[in-house]
Amino acid sequence: MKKYLGIVVCFIMLITTVFTGCGNSTATSNQSNEEKGKTLVYGAEFEDEKINSVLTASHAFATDLVFRGLMKFDENNVPKPEIAKSYTISKDKLTYDFILKKGIKFQDGTEIKADDVVFTIKTILNDKVNSELKPEFEDVKDIQKVNDYEVKITLSKVFPAFLDKMTVGLVPKHCLEGKDVNTADFNVKPIGAGPFKVEKWNKGSNLILTKSKYYYGKTGNIDKIIFKFLPDANVRAMQLQTGEVNIAPVAPSEVAKLEKNSKVTICKAPTADYRGIMFNFRTKPMFKDVNVRKALNYATDKQGIVKGILLGYGEAAYSPLQLNKYNNPNVEKYEYNLDKANELLEQSGWKKGADGIREKDGQKLQFTLFARNNDEVRVKIAEYVSSQAKKAGFDIKVDARDPKAEKIKDTEAFVLGWGSPFDADDHTYKIFRSDQFEKGSGFNFGDYSNPQVDDLLEKARTTSDDNQRKEYYDEFQKVVAEDPAFSMDAYLTALYGIDKNISGYTPKRVLGHHGEGFLWNVEEWNMK
């Protein structure tokens, strides 16, 4: 197992000497742009409720196209200066001084200045603002405007992931000052500094973005992007074949059929995106028995999920940092072992009844497993886990329905998805720390609590010594394997169907949750 996946090589399908399929990194924005005004139609799995970089923690889809930050992740997921011209870090690693580029404008023509940076960070930290990013900025002690093009940020603790966090898109102070950011019209008619601006949002149907005339970077010949909301994977695949959409994420079951289409190529990119079962400790007390959680891990044939559900497009999961440079392969991987699962349940006093379902103190080993019905893979994983676990005496009832009809925190168990290709602090601190449930700003939906995990994640995020950080994250992975918050199942390969007339995208980036990051340089793409 590779510790860290820095470069992902896609299968390249050559169709002419002019353009190629997946991985056409040679066709850049420097090529001739004789044909302007091209429209790219993206078949989207989801429709965001709001487009506002200070409210959502996701580096995804329209938000990343509309907004830009002081920093921006490159193709290797390393943060590099974007709106910032340069930055310096003090010797004690507590003060960051950013110098802004002059002449960079928001999409309304207003120049970006230090006031906008200060306003953006203070808005995230404002207790009246429902920002998912609060955990990422909680160590900001002070932020000051030095002059119109310089900002000084002081941290209360060393935080090596801070440059990652400064990729957050800047919002214009003059548009949001004095307004309720949670409900502002800005959330559906946003103004950022990205390459595309919102032209029209037809809720439930599509979102139309057009190229911003104020964008400062290189661009290709795509002047319009239409996000067409298609939650059904079968519909996305069909519309790829008919040419109604130019690019879309596809389910593993659709790949073979799409590969026969002469107009579509499939890009297969590994991701840091894993699937598993979340245990809700608050609604189902039985999960406090660690042997119950371990037993479900052992009772699930993860290789069976990879082969039978993902059709080989993925790998068995054992750690939330499996594709991170801090991955620790020396942890319990919970390879399929039904005997071990039964042994653990017997040890904890769960006895099989006449119906084969285990009981303890009059309580059945039973729970409901929720899976969003617009995600083929999640539903199949839920059904598979239910079937497998029955052999160990579990009674798992699958509840597959519209995710809008369910609140994750109220479920008994949930087929979840997490994973980040960025600094290890991302998708660990806000997911596994106990206080992230209490604060309500993180993503610890199951109310998982382990003091040792809390301590290790705090230490790992507040030391600049890389070797020390690795020791903390190694230990974190050992502890969370022995006291699992989830039953880890599989890492996914991101599968994108792409019109062969599109060029300029790169296969070099490890993608995030739901294949996030594939459109990271879409402004430079071209369409023939």
- What pLDDT does 440 receive? 59
Average pLDDT over residues 459-487: 97
Q: In the prediction, which pLDDT does 35 show?
A: 52
Assess whether pLDDT exceeds 90 at residue 152: yes
Helix, strand, coil: what percent of the chain each, to 5? 30, 25, 45
Q: Is residue 348 scored above 70 in pLDDT? A: yes
**Percent of the chain beyond pLDDT 70?**
92
- The backbone torsions φ and ψ at residue 61, rounded to the nearest 5 degrees and listed phi first, read 45, -130
**Is the confidence at residue 32, as pLDDT, over 80?**
no
Quick one: pLDDT band at residue 270, thresholds 50, 70, 90? confident
Q: In the predicted model, is pLDDT for residue 478 greater than 60? A: yes
pLDDT at position 52, please? 96
Q: What pLDDT score was predicted for residue 11?
A: 34
pLDDT tens per residue, range 449-469: 999 999 999 999 999 999 999
- Across residues 232-236, what is the average pLDDT? 93
DSSP state letters, 383-431: HHHHHHHGGGT-EEEEEEE-GGG--GGG-SEEEEEE--SS-TTTTTHHH
Look at the chain and count its residues: 528
Average pLDDT of the segment spanning 75-97: 97
Can you tell me whether residue 288 is helix, strand or coil? helix
* Tokens coding 91: 């010797």
d(CA 434, CA 444) in angstroms, rounded, equals 7
What average pLDDT is seen over the chain?
A: 91
> Nearest-5° angle of CA 381, CA 387, CA 393?
130
pLDDT (average), residues 494-509: 91
pLDDT at 306: 98
pLDDT, one tens digit per residue, over 395-445 is 999 999 988 887 888 899 999 999 999 999 999 999 999 988 766 557 999
Six-digit token string for 141: 């002690």
Mean pLDDT over 484-492 rounds to 97
The region, left, alpha or beta by phi > 0 then psi within -120 to 50, assigned to residue 61 is left
> Residue 128 — pLDDT band, cuts 50, 70, 90?
very high
Sign of CA dihedral 229, 233, 235, 237: positive
Please give the pLDDT value at position 36. Answer: 64
At residue 228, the pLDDT reads: 97
Averaged pLDDT, 120-135: 95
Residue 491: φ, ψ to 5°: -95, 140
Element of type H or E holding 488: strand 486-499
The predicted model gives 76-90 an average pLDDT of 97
